[in-house]
């Protein structure tokens, strides 16, 4: 029986600017994005004629919202035979954190099915499928770090002076992306002026005021991270709720994590940059 495993990596937005809005309501963004070694694992098996997704630990996602299942259906429509794939999804990336876990899983599903079934789809063909699945999905198919524009569909590799590691602070509940954008619009923030990629990101995020309105505890979490003089910057990833602190050395990040353990109800993880949003395991 044919099987395959793929790591689906998390991402951080090293700053995020909202530079406009399309007539269809989608916001136009600019962001430097980086993949992390924090990853979900997808185990693929060719089985029968119907695709199914099992999640560990169990998470209830309606089929219409299950990006892995939608990715499988999209790519299997390109297969010559009536075939199904069973996927066991082992989650480590928390939902609603702004780390792109669902999008990363979808990209890994496209890559895994293409490889397992030897469909031979090109990078451009996979990118076209990814764009239809969600704004962040295309990023996970290419190299990291990358400069993102538009609604996530325009990407190019960009040289960035990356920190050695990040300390991730993961609050006990996530932020609703649609609600954060709704609050952003309601607060009447002016669009940021379009810019070019920065060699040294500043970690500014235009969505932070809206996310902190939705989840006021973010301000307290941010203050906790800011107490450490060794961090080189603090930011919010995507629409939240994950906050991150950048460090030039893993030992400094691990020390900060140990100091904060027991002082917060948030989960704390140390993660390092990785050069791509997926990794096919041999």
Query: For residue 32, what pLDDT is reported?
Result: 97
Catalytically active residues are 11, 136
The parent domain of residue 237 ranges over 165-273
Please check whether residues 149 and 39 belong to one and the same domain. yes
User: What digits encode the pLDDT tens for the residues 159-174?
Assistant: 999 999 999 999 999 9
pLDDT number for residue 65: 77
Mark whether 264 and 153 lie in a shared domain: no
Structural domains in the chain (count): 2
Do residues 10 and 136 share a domain? Answer: yes
Do 172 and 252 sit in the same domain of this protein? yes
Q: Are residues 21 and 126 in the same domain?
A: yes
Task: Tell me: do 131 and 9 sit in the same domain.
Answer: yes
Confidence of residue 50 (pLDDT cuts 50, 70, 90): confident
Whether 34 and 101 map to the same domain: the answer is yes
Which CATH number characterizes residue 20's domain? 3.30.230.10
Same domain for 173 and 92, yes or no, is: no
Q: Is the pLDDT of residue 177 over 60?
A: yes
Alpha-carbon separation of residue 150 from 86, 156, 201, 261, 275 (angstroms): 34, 12, 19, 38, 22
- Place 60 in a pLDDT band, splitting at 50, 70 and 90: low
Can you give the CATH number for the domain in which 268 is found? Answer: 3.30.70.890
Q: What is the pLDDT of residue 169?
A: 98
Whether residues 183 and 269 share a domain: the answer is yes
Residues 132 and 192 in one domain: no
For the entire predicted model, the pTM comes to 0.94
Q: Are residues 202 and 263 in the same domain?
A: yes
- Asked if 110 and 152 sit in the same domain, the reply is yes
The pLDDT tens digits for 141-154 are 999 999 999 998 89
């Amino acid at each position: 029986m044919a099987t395959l495993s793929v790591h689906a990596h998390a991402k951080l937005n090293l700053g995020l600017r909202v530079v406009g809005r399309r007539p269809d309501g989608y916001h136009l963004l600019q962001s430097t994005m980086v993949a992390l070694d924090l990853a979900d694992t997808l185990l693929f098996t060719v089985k029968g004629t119907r695709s199914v997704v099992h999640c560990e630990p169990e998470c209830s996602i309606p089929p219409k919202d299950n990006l892995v299942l939608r990715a499988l259906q999209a790519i299997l429509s390109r297969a010559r035979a009536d075939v199904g794939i069973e996927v066991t999804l082992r989650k480590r990336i928390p939902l609603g954190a702004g780390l792109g876990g669902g999008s990363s899983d979808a990209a890994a599903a496209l890559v895994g099915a293409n490889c397992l079934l030897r469909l031979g789809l090109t990078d451009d063909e996979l990118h076209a499928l990814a764009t239809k699945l969600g704004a962040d999905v295309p990023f996970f198919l290419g190299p990291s770090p990358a400069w993102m524009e538009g609604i996530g569909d325009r990407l190019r590799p960009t040289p960035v002076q990356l920190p050695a590691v990040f300390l991730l602070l993961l609050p006990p509940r996530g932020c609703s992306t649609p609600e954060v954008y709704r609050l952003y619009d309601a607060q009447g923030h002016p669009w940021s002026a379009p810019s070019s990629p920065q060699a040294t990101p500043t970690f500014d995020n235009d969505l932070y005021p809206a996310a902190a309105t939705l989840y006021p505890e973010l301000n307290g979490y941010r203050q906790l991270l800011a107490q450490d003089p060794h961090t080189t910057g603090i930011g919010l990833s995507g629409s939240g709720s994950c906050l991150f602190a950048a460090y030039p050395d893993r030992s400094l990040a691990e020390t900060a994590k140990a100091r904060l353990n027991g002082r917060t109800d948030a989960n704390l993880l140390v993660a390092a940059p990785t050069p791509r949003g997926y990794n096919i395991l041999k």
